[in-house]
Amino acid sequence: MLDPANPRARTQAEATIGLADLFTIGIGPSSSHTVGPMRAAAAFAEAAIDRGTPTAVSCELFGSLALTGRGHATDIAVLLGLAGHRPEAVDPDAVATIVSTIRAEQTLVLGGHVAVPFVEGRHLIFREDRFLPAHPNGMRFVAHYANSEPYESFVYSIGGGAIVEGGCEPPQTNVKLPFAFTSGAELLAVGEAQGVSIADIVRANEAAWRDDAETDAFIDSLRAAMSACIDRGCRGEGELPGGLKVKRRARDLHQRLIARGPRSDPSLVFDWVSLWALAVNEENAAGGRVVTAPTNGAAGVIPAVLRYYETFCAAPTPAGARTFLLTAAAIGFLYKKRASISAAEMGCQGEVGVACSMAAAGLAAALGATNAQIENAAEIGMEHNLGLTCDPIGGLVQIPCIERNTMGAIKAINAAYLALHGDGSHIVSLDAVIETMRQTGEDMRSKYKETAQGGLAVNVVAC
């Protein structure tokens, strides 16, 4: 057991990130451009109604949300959120009907209670020429009233579906973690002082929100949602929406792999891993139910590597899967605290790169790695994704995003085994590679950070 009385058990407000902040269940195609704006719009609708009976509402989208918002379904997300729907609860199969009704009637029922006129182009405006200073993913909501001043709210979608109002810093909380950590070095130090694993540290901190049984149930629900997403993706057919005419490939690949024989054939292992990542991100691109892990655009990496553990590794267990996700979460916390998981700030290194780093750590932990080996695996996973740009063709989370998840999953497995073959000692620390990612993201030109203004987005014609 961990001893909260230990001097290393500090309580820092900035460290109060939990599993539920990192892993959430929502809909595709983007955590920052779909899930975040939907949450922001729903929260605004609720707050606007609390202040009276609005006669009209409007939303302006800025920066990356404006430039790639249509391809990322930000317009749909705002409509759904203003109408009172939330990403974790809305039925993906009902979205098209809900949105088409709003558009046809040019009216939405704000928060599910107050009917207001809503005409896109007048009440939902894409400010493609403006970035707000606090964050590239900015929104401005306004509610008007018959007998009072308008209510205005600026909200930022900061990555992974998380939103903040007013500025770009997450709000402080009163939750006190028994073993707060803000760096990889601190994480390793706590583990060494307490003689416990990284997964144990995260589990102890989660007790600030819920008991162990509830934490296990939450982790199991994440694992089940990831697995279900893989299975749905393996059944999906046809073209993905958006106009690129991208054909879903997972179903055909799944059938070919089944026909080739037992999964025990070593030559098939990476084909299966690629399939599982492909299936999740095709489902995400189609607007299906996914787990932000840590984002939607990188949602296929962790599920694919977790299923690799459960399918190909010796004696996998439910406890091992929980260790995997708890450990991966610890690494994700560090990226959120010390850099960002938003492609609009970091490029794709902040999404697929972070997911690769998390998955590598999780797999290494599930296979019995020491804390030092886990930290090494996470470092390797990111080191070889540094500089990865976000340049989606047509502003859609399809090319190169879907295949990029297969690459991230394969790299994560490779990173885990490289670390397991060592003793945990290495030249580049996880903290150093996270700081390098942050600096690289700051130096990266905005056209390579989810704006569809550079790279593949302009060098490949979107038909």
Q: What residues form DSSP beta bridges with 57?
A: 143
Query: Which pLDDT score is estimated for 265?
Result: 76
Ranges of beta strands (E only) in 32-150 are 54-63, 107-110, 114-117, 124-127, 137-145
Residue 8 has pLDDT above 70, yes or no: no
Domain layout of the chain by residue ranges = 14-22+178-448, 33-157
Cα-based torsion angle of the residue sequence 389, 392, 398, 401 in order, rounded to the nearest 10 degrees: 0
Tell me what the mean pLDDT of segment 122-144 comes to.
95
CA–CA gap between residue 258 and residue 437 (Å, rounded): 39
Confidence of residue 462 (pLDDT cuts 50, 70, 90): low
Predicted confidence band of residue 176 (pLDDT cuts 50, 70, 90): confident
Helices 318-338 and 430-443: angle between axes, nearest 10 degrees? 50
Residue 215 backbone dihedrals phi, psi, to 5 degrees = -65, -45
Query: Higher confidence at residue 11 or residue 75?
Result: 75
Q: Two tokens at 275?
A: 């399939």
pLDDT band at 169 (very low <50, low <70, confident <90, very high): low
Q: Is the pLDDT of residue 433 over 60?
A: yes
Share above pLDDT 70 across residues of the chain, in percent, rounded to a whole number: 94
Give which of 297, 299, 296, 319 is closest to 309, Cα–Cα: 319
Query: For the stretch 350-379, what's the b/e string if a residue is b when 16 or more beta carbons lie within 10 angstroms of its beta carbon?
Result: bbbbbbbbbbbbbbbbbbebbbbbbbbbbb
- The pLDDT-based confidence of 461 (bands split at 50, 70, 90) is low
Q: Please list, in sequence order, all residues whose beta carbon lies within 8 angstroms of the beta carbon of residue 324, skipping any fewer than 6 positions away.
A: 306, 309, 362, 363, 365, 366
What would the mean pLDDT of 405-428 be, rounded to a whole number? 98
Describe the crossing of helices 301-312 and 269-285 by its angle, rounded to 10 degrees: 140
pLDDT at 12: 33
Integer Cα distance of 304 and 277 in angstroms: 5
Q: How confident is the model at residue 145 (pLDDT cuts 50, 70, 90)?
A: very high
pLDDT at 249: 98
For tokens 């130096």, name the residue: 443
Indicate the range of 34-48, 254-268, 406-420 predicted with least confidence. 254-268
**Alpha-carbon Rg for the chain in angstroms:** 22
**321 vs 21: CA distance, rounded Å:** 19
Mean pLDDT of the chain: 93
Average pLDDT over residues 452-462: 88
C-alpha–C-alpha distance, residues 36 and 25, integer Å: 12
- SS percent in the chain: helix, strand, coil, step 5: 50, 10, 35
Mean pLDDT for 22-28 is: 94
The model carries a pTM of 0.91
Question: What does the pLDDT average to over 303-319?
Answer: 97
Q: Are 289 and 35 in contact (CB under 8 A)?
A: no
CA distance 290 to 295: 10
Distance of alpha carbon 55 from alpha carbon 443, whole angstroms:
44
| pLDDT tier, 5 (very low <50, low <70, confident <90, very high otherwise) | very low
Confidence band for 4, pLDDT divided at 50, 70 and 90: very low
Q: How far apart are CA 395 and CA 340, in angstroms?
A: 21
The CATH fold assigned to 33-157 is 60s Ribosomal Protein L30; Chain: A; (3.30.1330)
**DSSP state string for 187-253:** HHHHHHHHT--HHHHHHHHHTTTS-HHHHHHHHHHHHHHHHHHHHHHHH--SBPTTSS-PBP-HHHH
| Number of other CB atoms surrounding residue 426 within 10 Å | 17
Q: What is the mean pLDDT of residues 368-385?
A: 98
Instruction: Enter the DSSP assignment of 448.
Output: G
The whole-angstrom distance between residue 298's C-alpha and the CA centroid of its chain comes to 6
- If you average pLDDT over residues 174-188, what whole number do you get? 92
- % of the chain at pLDDT higher than 90: 90
415 in helix, strand or coil?
Answer: helix
**310 has a pLDDT exceeding 80:** yes
Q: Measuring CA to CA, which residue among 326, 332, 323, 339 is closest to residue 355?
A: 332
Considering only 85-94, 115-124, 264-273, 291-300, which range has the smallest mean pLDDT?
264-273
Residue 173's pLDDT is 61
First to last CA, the chain: 58
CA angle centred on 44, ends 43 and 48, rounded to 5°: 120
Give the best-scoring range by mean pLDDT among 33-47, 167-181, 264-278. 33-47
What pLDDT band is residue 85 in, cutting at 50, 70 and 90? Answer: very high
Alpha helices in 313-370 (DSSP H): 318-338, 343-346, 352-366
Coil vs helix vs strand at 124: strand
Contact 226, 280 (CB under 8 A): yes
Asked whether the beta carbons of 286 and 233 are under 8 A apart, the reply is no
Band the pLDDT of 175: cuts 50, 70, 90. Answer: confident
Is the pLDDT at 386 greater than 80? The verdict is yes
